[in-house]
A = this chain, B = another copy of it.
């Protein structure tokens, strides 16, 4: 099956948002002013040594794996060091899983809409992507059962908590139903979980990975630490870990030794939970500022998500507007968003768009939304 190299329209678009005068709601970028620059500087200084400059084991730094395992266990997902593979960002985890588990032509089931770089990854692997219907509580287990019956997928990809792009969270009851379906039908599930620590209200639901051995859990340092380090981890069942390690070795031998050692030094010396609380306090205000500005930004009849956490608000405009056609007008007004269509595996709803609220301050958000209003309403 020939693969597709369609690229990402969003990628091309983001290139245009690099002008400093643009207020961008487009990229899913953490707030740079909240990075713990001095903490990370000290960590890199401590970590730098002959050992951290040398080749290292493919599985990852033993200290970092122990610290991550401990952190996941404390957050309710019991994890031992051998369960973990350090990855070059959680994006790499997706590619490793796909290479390890899928033959070309395999079927992958996804939420509709879903993370677009995951869609790209499945396309490059020559997979056939089948969307599964859902609502504001996430994927519908009955719709998944239907797709399993009809399409026999080998893999299900989910962002169950504060999904990209919708901000939706899969309810605890549906998690249990989906885990049971995975067990019953021998379906592999990727639980992509970069956002769950960024919770601004409500109580967490248990990770899918606590409910089934068919779940591969991908975590990341990008949203709670810093994305520039490209550090993620994959928690995977023992039955496929060796295969994943072989694929990782062919992919890049191992993740940066120095970045892993610095992350381990940082986690030992700092209270990441306290840092996450700081992030949550700031991001909560930013979400509120963006949601509060929406009624005066979008036309009557528009709908939007009011997410309990994460980075994104998902907007549906009224009528049969194509948000892709509005982006030029937005950039002329020095403001940017992401049109919704590329997040759909099939039959896009072109009246949708994604707004990221974490990158800009509340004042910038207010100004950006003022600039957006005439784009949507004229």
Contact = CB atoms under 8 A, between A and B. Distances in A.
Interface of A: 2-3, 5-8, 11, 27, 29-30, 32-33, 35, 37, 40-41, 44-45, 48-56, 58, 87-89, 91-92, 94-95, 99-100, 103-104, 117, 120-121, 124, 126, 222, 226-230, 242-243, 245-247, 249-259
A360 to B, nearest CB: 14
Nearest to A255: B230
Contact of A56 (B48, B126, B228): B228
Contacts of A50: 32-33, 35, 37
Nearest to A243: B5
Contact of A249 (B120, B222, B242, B246): B120
A226 B3 CA distance: 35
Nearest to A100: B5
Contacts of A243: 5
A258 B54 contact: no
Contacts of A44: 44-45, 48, 258
Contact of A54 (B30, B55, B104, B259): B30
Contacts of A117: 249-250, 253
Contacts of A32: 50-51, 53-54
The majority secondary structure among interface residues of chain A is helix
Contacts of A29: 54-55
Copies of this chain, whole number? 2
A329 B56 CA distance: 25
B228 A88 contact: no
Given A228-B56, A230-B256, A8 B249 contact: yes
A369 B285 CA distance: 66
Contacts of A53: 32, 35, 37, 40, 226-229
15 contacts: A2-B103, A5-B243, A7-B242, A29-B54, A35-B50, A37-B48, A44-B48, A53-B226, A53-B229, A54-B227, A88-B252, A104-B126, A120-B250, A256-B256, A258-B259
A328 B30 CA distance: 51
A342 B333 CA distance: 60
A228 B242 CA distance: 22
Contact of A11 (B33, B45, B104, B249): B249
A230 B257 CA distance: 8
A81 to B, nearest CB: 15
Given A2-B103, A37-B53, A259-B259, A58 B11 contact: yes
A28 to B, nearest CB: 8
Nearest to A94: B250
Given A2-B103, A253-B91, A256-B256, A228 B40 contact: no
Contacts of A245: 7
A257 B242 contact: no
Contacts of A249: 8, 11, 117, 120
Nearest to A121: B250
A89 B45 contact: no
Q: 8 closest A-B pairs (Cβ-Cβ)?
A: A228-B257, A53-B226, A32-B50, A53-B228, A88-B252, A121-B250, A92-B252, A7-B246
A342 to B, nearest CB: 13
B255 A55 contact: no
A253 B90 CA distance: 9
A33 B252 CA distance: 24
A56 B30 CA distance: 12
A126 B58 CA distance: 22
